[in-house]
Structure 1
Amino acid sequence: MTELQTAHWLGLDSSHLSPIDDHHGLMQPTKQAWLAMVEAAANDGLTLNLVSSYRSFGRQQVIWDNKFNGHRPVLDDHNVPVAMAQLTELEKILAIMRFSALPGTSRHHWGTDLDVYSKPLQQQPLQLVASEYQSGGPQFQTHQWLQQRAHEFDFFFPYSDDLGGVACEPWHLSHRPMAEKVESMRQPEAILDAIVNANVAGQKTIAANFDTLFARFVSPISRLR
């Protein structure tokens, strides 16, 4: 396995990944765990599919910049579009970070995290909102199975609880052994340098408030299964 470097966990280098298909890649141990879990689910009559796995810094920046600049909608906790043009830069950043990570801070950069659904259960386009995974939602069966079985493959839900920063993400799984290894390497200073060097939208306000943003939206996760 490729020795992890700063560029890997920042999403600037994907050479540490093993491809799953034309669209998805994960670190090799995470890939093996994912494929084993897919097989177990299939044995129980459930098809598991990836919505997303690895996401590069550049891709995360496109999402971020478009939201910050008003080219892509930002939703509030009630799935209502936020009037971004009326907000200060800091207010925009806080609104975006509720559901989208700052480039350089996304766990999807690591190759250890994935968003999961069951395509056969989804009759309408997937929105990736919590209600889809709750009782009565099309992905409720998926979430129930994952809650019962994902831990057997060393996966956990890092955003199972609302800790005051990132909203609940019942579709998001993290492969604990590899994610904890990457997390121990993470350096806030390197993240901020990457944000500034890439000219991420709102970078001056991000830099001025970085410690607070990191403490609220990046560090806290739900560590239980």
Structure 2
Amino acid sequence: MAIILNDTISSDEILGKTEQHLHFIDEHLAIHKAMVSAFKSLKKAALSDGFTISVASGFRSFERQEMIWNSKFLGTKPVKDNQGNNIDITQLCDIDKAHAILLYSALPGASRHHWGCDIDIYAQNLLPEGQQPQLEPWEYEDTGPFATLSTWLEQNAHSFDFYFPYNQYREGVAAEPWHISFAPLSHAYEQAFQLDLLVSCLAHSSVAGKQVIIDNIEKIAQRYIYNVNQGKFNL
């Protein structure tokens, strides 16, 4: 049963266990229903300056995040280091596996994508026809296809209450210039988040390596969950 954490946010929303807070853009893509207007305004402003913004990833359920996590932990999906090199994760102990995965993939139950107010975006019109975004840092850097979009977002996202939670590497999660967050909602979710609820969720889950994660949860939380930009816009 979901626990009501405040007047509007439940534990199921925090943990990615419900879709009640979502607006579906299409059959597979959803964002928080209270963010729709702001996101439409951002898209409209971007379009007027020549960028056709699309969402590569919006809401992600606990089950989906668990699938991503487990496939990496078990070595069936590639895991990369901060230089983009593949790691042989099968050679690592469980805690080192967790740290390697957490560089790019959130812990199930602690992903900001569960909230629906954090999204990964790109501009399709900046790519050659038929090419899809990879969501890798080089695409948003000076010589990448989304360099101009990145500059535009840095200058304009705050006008629509969006910011970059992973605007730089802080010895935790890698920099993600494609990941924007709607501050009025994400700050409320951050305040409602409770570590004991995450631990309970993990304990009753099928998350690979969950015991070593639970045993080290406070250090993991400080490094990868709380260790984000708090909305001071990267101008």
- What range is the shorter-chain TM-score in? over 0.9
* Counterpart code for 2:132: P
Task: Provide the secondary structure at the position in 1 that maps to 2:180.
Answer: strand
Name stretches of at least 5 consecutive residues in structure 1 with no aligned partner: none
Taking the aligned partners of 2:38 and 2:29, their CA distance within structure 1 comes to: 15
Match of 1:158 in 2: 165
Match of 1:58 in 2: 63
Contact 1:163 1:220 in 2 (8 A): yes
Query: What is the CA-CA distance between 1:47 and the residue it aligns to?
Result: 0.6
Contact 1:4 1:16 in 2 (8 A): no
In the TM superposition, structure 1's runs of 4+ consecutive aligned residues that sit over 6 Å from their partners are: none
Match of 2:3 in 1: none
Task: Provide the secondary structure at the position in 2 that maps to 1:193.
Answer: helix
The residue correspondences of 1:96-175 to structure 2 (distance < 5 A) are 96-123=101-128, 124-175=131-182
TM-score by length of structure 1 reads 0.97
Taking the aligned partners of 1:23 and 1:219, their CA distance within structure 2 comes to: 29
Match of 2:39 in 1: 34
What RMSD over aligned residues (CA atoms) do the two structures have, in Å? 1.1
Query: What is the CA-CA distance between 1:136 and the residue it aligns to?
Result: 0.5
Taking the aligned partners of 2:200 and 2:127, their CA distance within structure 1 comes to: 40
The residue correspondences of 1:84-95 to structure 2 (distance < 5 A) are 84-95=89-100
Q: Deviations over 1:20-71 (max 9, x none)?
A: 2222212222121111100111111111010001000000000000000001
Match of 1:201 in 2: 208
1:22 maps onto 2:27 in alignment: yes
Taking the aligned partners of 1:142 and 1:63, their CA distance within structure 2 comes to: 28
Instruction: Say which of 180, 192, 201 aligns to 2:199.
Output: 192
Name the count of aligned residue pairs: 224
Taking the aligned partners of 2:146 and 2:199, their CA distance within structure 1 comes to: 36
Q: Deviations over 1:134-190 (max 9, x none)?
A: 001011111111111110100000000111100100000000001111111100110
Match of 1:210 in 2: 217
* Counterpart code for 1:203: K
Query: What is the CA-CA distance between 1:195 and the residue it aligns to?
Result: 1.2
Taking the aligned partners of 1:78 and 1:26, their CA distance within structure 2 comes to: 31
Task: Provide the secondary structure at the position in 2 that maps to 1:100.
Answer: coil
* Counterpart code for 1:103: P
Task: Provide the secondary structure at the position in 2 that maps to 1:55.
Answer: coil
Taking the aligned partners of 1:165 and 1:45, their CA distance within structure 2 comes to: 34
TM-score by length of structure 2 reads 0.93
Task: Provide the secondary structure at the position in 2 that maps to 1:173.
Answer: strand
